């Protein structure tokens, strides 16, 4: 959520920043609304001050003489004021609600270092890695080899659930587990504390990270219970400290978490219909950081490195892409995607997305910190990134490690987890 004070002070900057993300929101309307809020609040609170004063007078008089004649007068006066206060409070509450609801639908401002652009096409490649590990022989798509080996079963998944689900069978199931453990072990080594959070969360949590109110149709919902299947571990983990005041000395806090992720993928009907790329349920290991505002940019770069480290250890070719303003997610001010090489398609595909949210999520989720000896509290900064999407990592392995004879070599880093050299 943007700070209304910041909008008031930097109206034109905010307005152009939002235009860069193709958002045509009239911020002046918000300021007008905020003006009304302030005026109403001032009126109300001065009336309340008057009423409080009367109350104290009544209290004093009652102690002197319970039947003091002016008590009745003061009482009437207080009742009159109370009526006015009630009316004003109602107005004030409506204005506040309106303002709040509008603010919740406004995306974050892009960071100055985010390239300005319209779409995916304007994203900037920052670096590429592992060119030498790309296979040189023809490679079957992962779904083809997976079905041939009998380890990916899409057909029966449709029967027991729906399209866009999969059964991982035998070696694939083991590989999935191995990847999860491998990734978590690496991150723990890098200083991230593991969390296994709830896989269902309430609406408040989704609002905290930015999925609600605008993107309700993207998530699976258990309507009876105000619970939603998590679209990413970002939601429960970022909300861990919601409405808490952390000690500045405790920052940065770094967590890693494995969770399944559930997405309705509404509006992607024709896309990636085959294989593991786009499923309603997939596994992911996520990194989440809570940091001091001055440190978020550096922590962001480190977070990207931590995600890259997994790809490097697995020897999977990838590139790092800086998303442009037009392609940036709702809550992010800056974002790098990691894209892994998929030889069957001859293209790089997103396998991780590492974002710096600034204080945007912190405001929504009321994540604050306090510095000893300093008055007041401040919003911290949040960051997160996939490290990595496990299903897509499996795709990349099934393809990049595919041998000309149709077997798949197990990446060396994973061999201790699987206890073998080849998947057959």
Partner RNA sequence: GGAGAAGUGGCAGAGUGGUUGAAUGCACCUGACUCGAAAUCAGGAAUGGGGGCAACCUCAUCGGGGGUUCAAAUCCCCCCUUCUCCGCCA
What is the chain's Cα-based Rg? 27
Binding of residue 370 to RNA (CB under 7 A): yes
CA torsion angle 59 65 66 72 (round to 10): -70
Rounded Cα–Cα distance for residues 67 and 338 (Å): 79
Task: State which residue, 22 or 60, has the beta carbon closest to RNA.
Answer: 60
Q: Whole-angstrom Cα distance, residue 113 to residue 335? A: 10
Q: Using the rule CB under 7 A, which residue among 26, 79, 101, 403 binds RNA?
A: 79
Active site annotation includes 278: yes
52 binds RNA (CB under 7 A): yes
DSSP at 278: S
Of the residues 36, 278, 315, 349, only one is catalytic, namely 278
Q: How far apart are CB 51 and RNA at their closest, in Å?
A: 6
Residue 418 touches RNA, criterion: CB under 7 A: no
Q: Does 56 bind RNA (CB under 7 A)?
A: yes
CB of 49 to RNA, least distance (A): 3
Closest separation in Å from C-beta 71 to RNA: 8
For RNA, the closer CB: 49 or 126: 49
Q: Which is nearer to RNA, 56 or 148 (CB)?
A: 56
The answer to whether 90 contacts RNA (rule: CB under 7 A) is no
The active-site residue out of 353, 355, 363, 399 is 353
Q: Which member of 9, 13, 32, 60 binds RNA (CB under 7 A)? A: 60
CB 303 within 8 A of CB 319: no
Catalytic residue among 50, 265, 350, 378: 350
Measured distance CA(47)–CA(49) in Å, rounded? 5
Taking CB under 7 A as the binding criterion, the range among 128-136, 146-154, 311-319, 368-376 that sits at the site for RNA is 368-376
Residue 83 near RNA by CB under 7 A: no
* Binds RNA (CB under 7 A): choice among 127, 137, 271, 375: 375
Pick the closer one to RNA by CB: 224 or 405: 224
Nearest-angstrom CA–CA distance, 394 and 142 = 8
The pattern of x and - marking residues 3 through 42 that bind RNA according to CB under 7 A reads --x--------------------------------x--xx
Using the minimum distance from each CB to RNA, give the nearer residue, 40 or 114.
40
Q: Which of 92, 286, 392, 399 is catalytic?
A: 392
Do 382 and 288 contact (CB within 8 A), yes or no? yes
Interacting residue with RNA among 49, 188, 250, 424 (CB under 7 A):
49
Least distance (Å) between residue 221 CB and RNA: 18
Q: Give the nearer residue to RNA in terms of CB position, either 123 or 205.
A: 205
Q: In this structure, are residues 341 and 132 in contact, taking their beta carbons and an 8 Å threshold?
A: no
Q: How many residues bind RNA (CB under 7 A)?
A: 32
Query: Is residue 277 within 8 Å of residue 381, measured between CB atoms?
Result: no
Min. distance of Cβ 370 from RNA in angstroms? 6
Nearer to RNA, 368 or 381 (CB): 368
Residue 273 backbone zone (phi > 0: left; psi -120 to 50: alpha; other: beta) = alpha
| E strand map for 195-296 | 200-201, 221-222, 227-229, 244-247, 253-262, 281-291
Scan residues 237-256 and list those touching RNA (CB under 7 A): 245
C-beta contacts of 307-310 below 8 A and 24+ residues apart: 307/338, 307/352, 307/354, 307/385, 307/386, 307/387, 307/388, 308/129, 308/338, 309/186, 309/190, 310/182, 310/183, 310/186, 310/387, 310/388, 310/393
Q: How far is CA 246 from CA 44, 198, 360, 366, 376, in A?
A: 33, 22, 17, 11, 12
The window from 280-288, 289-297, 340-348, 372-380 that contacts RNA (CB under 7 A) reads: 372-380
Tokens of 373: 């000896």
Annotated catalytic residue 156: no
- Among candidate residues 44, 263, 363, 364, the one labeled active-site is 263
Say how many residues make up the chain: 424
Q: Which residues contact 227 (CB under 8 A, 6 or more apart)?
A: 200, 201, 202, 221
The yes-or-no answer on residue 350 being catalytic is yes
Positions marked catalytic = 263, 278, 350, 353, 392
Q: Which residues bind RNA (CB under 7 A)?
A: 5, 38, 41-42, 44-46, 48-49, 51-56, 58-60, 62, 74-75, 78-79, 82, 245, 368, 370, 372-373, 375-377
């Amino acid at each position: 959520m943007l700070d209304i004070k910041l909008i008031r002070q930097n109206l034109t900057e905010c307005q152009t920043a939002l235009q860069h993300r193709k958002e045509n929101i009239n911020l002046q309307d918000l300021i007008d609304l905020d003006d009304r809020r302030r005026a109403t609040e001032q009126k109300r609170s001065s009336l309340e001050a008057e009423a409080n004063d009367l109350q104290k007078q009544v209290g004093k008089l009652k102690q002197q003489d319970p039947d003091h004649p002016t008590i009745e007068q003061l009482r009437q006066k207080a009742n009159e004021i109370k009526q006015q206060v009630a009316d004003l409070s109602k107005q004030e509450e409506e204005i506040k609600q309106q303002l709040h609801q509008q603010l919740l639908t406004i995306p974050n401002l892009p960071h100055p270092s985010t390239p300005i652009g319209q779409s995916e096409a304007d994203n900037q490649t920052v670096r590429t890695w592992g060119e030498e590990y790309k296979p040189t022989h023809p490679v079957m798509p992962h779904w083809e080899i997976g079905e041939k080996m009998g380890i990916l079963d899409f057909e029966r998944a449709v029967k027991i659930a729906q399209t866009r689900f999969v059964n991982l069978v035998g070696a694939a199931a083991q590989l999935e587990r191995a990847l999860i453990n491998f990734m978590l072990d690496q991150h723990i080594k890098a200083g991230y504390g593991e969390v296994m959070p709830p896989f269902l969360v309430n609406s408040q949590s989704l609002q905290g990270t930015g999925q609600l109110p605008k993107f309700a149709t993207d998530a699976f919902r258990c309507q009876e219970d105000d619970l939603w299947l998590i679209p990413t571990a970002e939601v429960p983990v970022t909300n861990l400290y919601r409405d808490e005041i952390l000690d500045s000395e405790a920052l940065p806090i770094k967590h890693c978490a494995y969770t399944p992720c559930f997405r309705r993928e509404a509006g992607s009907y024709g896309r990636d219909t085959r294989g593991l790329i786009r499923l309603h349920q997939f596994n992911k290991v996520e990194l989440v950081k809570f940091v001091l505002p001055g440190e978020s940019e550096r922590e962001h770069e480190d977070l990207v490195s931590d995600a890259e480290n997994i790809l490097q250890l697995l020897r999977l070719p990838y590139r790092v892409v800086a998303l442009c303003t037009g392609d940036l997610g709702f809550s992010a001010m800056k974002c790098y995607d990691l894209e892994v090489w998929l030889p069957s398609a001859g293209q790089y595909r997103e396998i991780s997305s590492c974002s710096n949210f600034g204080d945007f999520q912190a405001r929504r989720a009321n994540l604050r910190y306090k510095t000893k000896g300093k008055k007041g509290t401040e919003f911290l900064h949040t960051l997160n990134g996939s490290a990595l999407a496990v299903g897509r990592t499996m795709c990349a392995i099934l393809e990049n490690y595919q041998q000309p004879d149709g077997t798949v070599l197990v990446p060396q880093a994973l061999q201790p987890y699987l206890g073998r050299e080849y998947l057959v």
